[in-house]
Structure 1
Amino acid sequence: MQGSRDARSHLYFDFDHDHDHDHDHDRTAERRIRNATRPVGDRSRRRPGSRQSAHVLDRRLHCAFPYGTCHGYAEIAAYFEEVFVALADFTLEIISIAEAGNDVLVHWHLSGRHVGTFAGIAATGRHIDLEGFDHFILENGHVVTNTVRYDQMEFARQIKLLPADRSFADRALKAAFNATTRVGHLVRRRPSR
């Protein structure tokens, strides 16, 4: 599935994933998320008198990303603008969806090329290939919370911010960190005069 490049018209996902994985439960959860993540402004135009409730939803909505928390649609749209600018050829494939009451978990696979600044890290041109998940909490059919998680160390390794796991550079980095930690423990244990 191709991720939307217009963060304001589609707040988050397109949810048109591979139909070979066609389970009724997944499709019901998809429908709920698709409707719940539609921008509040779109919903308020269709239901007279809902502008006040849309404003309340916007104030309550928050998304917790690995690099910070956004509140309201404007901040969330700005975050996704940064993501879409930073990742060329952005694709997001839904692997699975699980729903329990008002909680929906979406397991996804993201890929793209790191071509712009993201989380303070300048473009590297490197290919990104990550799995992660979103935990949506719905209230009255609307998303009020979205928590996004993925392996940040894997991201850092893929863009070469960190060395490859178990490489010589990785072992040296860990040895230096462990030595610094041991020295810190010794200094803290030393009795004060």
Structure 2
Amino acid sequence: MTVQPRRRTQQERREHTETALVAAAAEIVVEAGVRALTLARVGERAGYSRGIVTHHFGSKQGLVDALARSIQVGFVPGLEDRPPGLGRLLALVDGYLHAVSALGTANRAFLLLWAEAATTPELAETFRDRDRGFRADLRVDIDAGVAAGEIRADADPEAVAVALVGQLRGIGMQRLVDPEGVDTERLRGDVTEQWRRALRSG
């Protein structure tokens, strides 16, 4: 008796298509640069038509938004299982630096797009929103750490969040530009300890 493979649901087919399109967009950014990213090229790379890309994302802006979201979700695994506070904040720093030690195509694309956002208005909104979300998540940990007495009471959550995002993104960019000269695995312990000392109470 032959067992017929289960047919994918419409939602599963949609998710598969979107994943393939986002992956194709990341490959194009890494291989040819941000300006080479067009809906037509993404569709062709993924084996679909431009119309399919437009159907799923609406525009290049929508595609970039989806790419940025897909990369940030789960970038440092396991954080959702930790309670907010200094421990989770330090785990994020350590995990982030570990993740950029082996930058895959998607993460390389994110950093390239993030850098380009400084001079490209259509990218600026997406990455401004992503960074604001990143800082908001960090502030939750800082506020929780202060409330628990783990983080010094005079720590400014916004200032700490801006400094952290700047440092982590900056190290990621250095790793992207000079992978042989920037050993993020070696940096992990030092950077995490620097933040522990800077923030801890007492």
Shorter-chain TM-score tier? under 0.3
Structure with the largest fraction of helix: 2
Normalized against structure 1, the TM-score is what?
0.24
Larger RCO (CA within 8 A; separation ≥ 6)? 2
